[in-house]
Structure 1
Amino acid sequence: MTDFSDPFVDPAIHTRIQAELGAVEQEEGVRILLAIESGSRGWRFPSQDSDYDVRFLYLRPLSSYLTVTDQRDVIERPVDAVFDVSGWDLRKAFQLALRSNAVLIEWLCSPVRYRELGPAAARLLNFARASVDLTAVAYHYDRQARRMFNDVLAAEAPRLKTYCYALRSALALQWVRERRDVPPMDLPALLRGLFLSAEVADEIAALVARKLPSTERDTTARLPILDHLIGNVLAQPVPAMRGEARREVGRRADALFAELVLDAYAN
């Protein structure tokens, strides 16, 4: 991928990521369909010392999907100070889509894409969007925002990182509540799609501007404007939104999964 360019991805690190993905394919005997950035670089507010959270979806040989016994459906590489690399089998990804897993949806719409082979990821994203149970997604972001915001409230000087994590989750929850749709993964896209006062928007911009040159451990004084925003979002009940009958969703998932696997090995 010689045309890859991203302001938050070092070109030398990108080269190493491609080599790591190639090693995964060779050593595990799999075909990587999608590889993305899932952490703060994908959320568009990394710190100077943020690692690279590389996530991927893969296919094993066709014979692996014709067995009675269960096959391992996760690949995890050793974690170091720079890389955290792991991936899910495409079958596992479909199983998570059936449960409206918000993390999977984030992977599928990440703005940082290290590799994408064929239409499988795009078609899985379309399926996940069309069949999503938005209540499940809303609960995910509600729990995530509460956990991070509780850490903010408990600290005399909360980390910039924790504030950003709480803010992103709260805005994603607000997106589900207002737009009745799955939220984008990254903070800039969330900000473009929500109505926020100029005061709040300026405070968010200032927070991100402080975080980018910081380290993961750098702290801040409390930010009352953002405390008020996040607290107001969490004070509202999680919206209950009726989803599609899961049995029908399961039938469509089976058909699409089989089509994608067979197409991938047809050539």
Structure 2
Amino acid sequence: MKETIIKSLLKIEEDFNVKILYAVESGSRAWEFPSKDSDYDVRFIYVHKQNDYLTIDQMGIGKKRDVIELPINDLLDITGWELTKALRLFRKSNPPLMEWLRSGIVYYQAFSTIDQMKELSKNIFAPNSCLHHYLNMASNNFREYLQGDKVRIKKYFYVLRPVLAARWIEKYNEFPPLEFPKLLEDILPNGELKKHIQILLKRKIDGEELDFEPKIEVINDFLNEEILRLREYTKTLNIDIPDFTHNLDLLFRNTLEEVWK
């Protein structure tokens, strides 16, 4: 599959006259709980030529799109962000972008830009915005998927992962790892709750069909309580993040020089 992904990325470079800097897996495969029918969620960062930026209309305005999306099929979902868009979101510690930088499945990387972003990410981290992102994700998925006497069991992971990620931020004041097993092992103590989650995880990875089943009360109760508790915790945070605009402007200019020289 990697060969197919690389071919798709090279065709994007040719069709859109851009250079791709980085491409990774961002979905359940990167989170280490894929199902047998999981698709590939490829996310990439790309840069245009210098003259494309030296116009009166900035990238992302009008017809100058700052996103490239290929038609989604049953197996492959490929979406990319233009570099200035990515850097503006990076400045705000955008969680999806921060996850891309930490993905353990890298399909492609070229030039030095991403290594520099990874180094900067140690300081560009806004706990408030990241906590709100994960809690909103957890709350929405909990409300949509886990109500009623019977629920779609595999959807537990789409609530558990953001809750455990939020707990990681609370515990370590750093951006959480993507891998669900690592979050689970570190954040939850041994006991009934963890045992139920481990059984579900093994069933999902083994390819067992996890459709509608009676909800698991111990997991539901934990998620409900943690979402409420973490909401209150976020209200206690008041953290000022330094402005890294100058550093990111310089990184952008250096990237243009490095890529297109």
TM-score by length of 2: 0.89
Contact 1:132 1:243 in 2 (8 A): no
**Residue 71 of structure 2, aligned match among 78, 81, 94:** 78
Contact persistence 1:133–1:244 (CA under 8 A): yes
Q: 2:254 aligns to what?
A: 259
> Which whole-Å CA distance do the structure 1 matches of 2:195 and 2:259 have between them?
47
Superposed displacement of residue 195, structure 1: 4.5
- Check conservation: 1:58, 1:87, Cα contact below 8 A: yes
Deviation of 1:124 (Å): 1.3
Residue matched to 1:142: 135
Give the TM-score normalised by structure 1. 0.87
> How far, CA to CA, are the matches of 2:177 and 2:125 in structure 1?
14
Q: What is the CA–CA distance in structure 2 between the aligned matches of 1:106 and 1:223, rounded to whole Å?
A: 29
Q: Tell me if the contact between 1:33 and 1:59 (Cα under 8 Å) persists in the aligned partners.
A: yes
* 1-structure distance, mates of 2:208, 2:89: 35
Please, which runs of 5 or more residues in structure 2 have no aligned partner?
60-64
Letter in 1 for 2:104: P
Q: Deviation above 6 Å: which 4+ runs of structure 1?
A: none
Q: 2:241 aligns with which of 234, 244, 247?
A: 244
| % identical equivalent positions | 31
Q: 2:24 matched to 1:36? A: yes
Q: Structure 1 unaligned runs (5+)?
A: 1-12
Correspondence for 1:153 among 146, 149, 156: 146
Q: Does 2:204 correspond to 1:204?
A: no
What is the alpha-carbon root mean square deviation over aligned residues? 1.8
Within a 5 Å distance, the mapping from 1:93-112 to structure 2 comes to 93-112=86-105
Taking the aligned partners of 1:40 and 1:153, their CA distance within structure 2 comes to 19
Counterpart of 1:62 in structure 2 is: 50
Distance apart, 1:119 and its partner CA: 2.5
Give the structure 2 partner of residue 4 of structure 1. Answer: none
Alignment of 1:122-201 (within 5 A): 122-201=115-194
Q: Could you tell me how far 1:219 is from its partner in structure 2?
A: 2.9
What SS class does the counterpart of residue 208 from structure 1 fall into?
helix
In the other structure, the counterpart of 2:83 is 90
Equivalent-residue separation in structure 2 for 1:153 and 1:169 (angstroms): 15
Q: Which one-letter code corresponds to 2:177 in the other structure?
A: P
Number of equivalences: 251
Letter in 2 for 1:75: I
Secondary structure of 2:211's match? coil
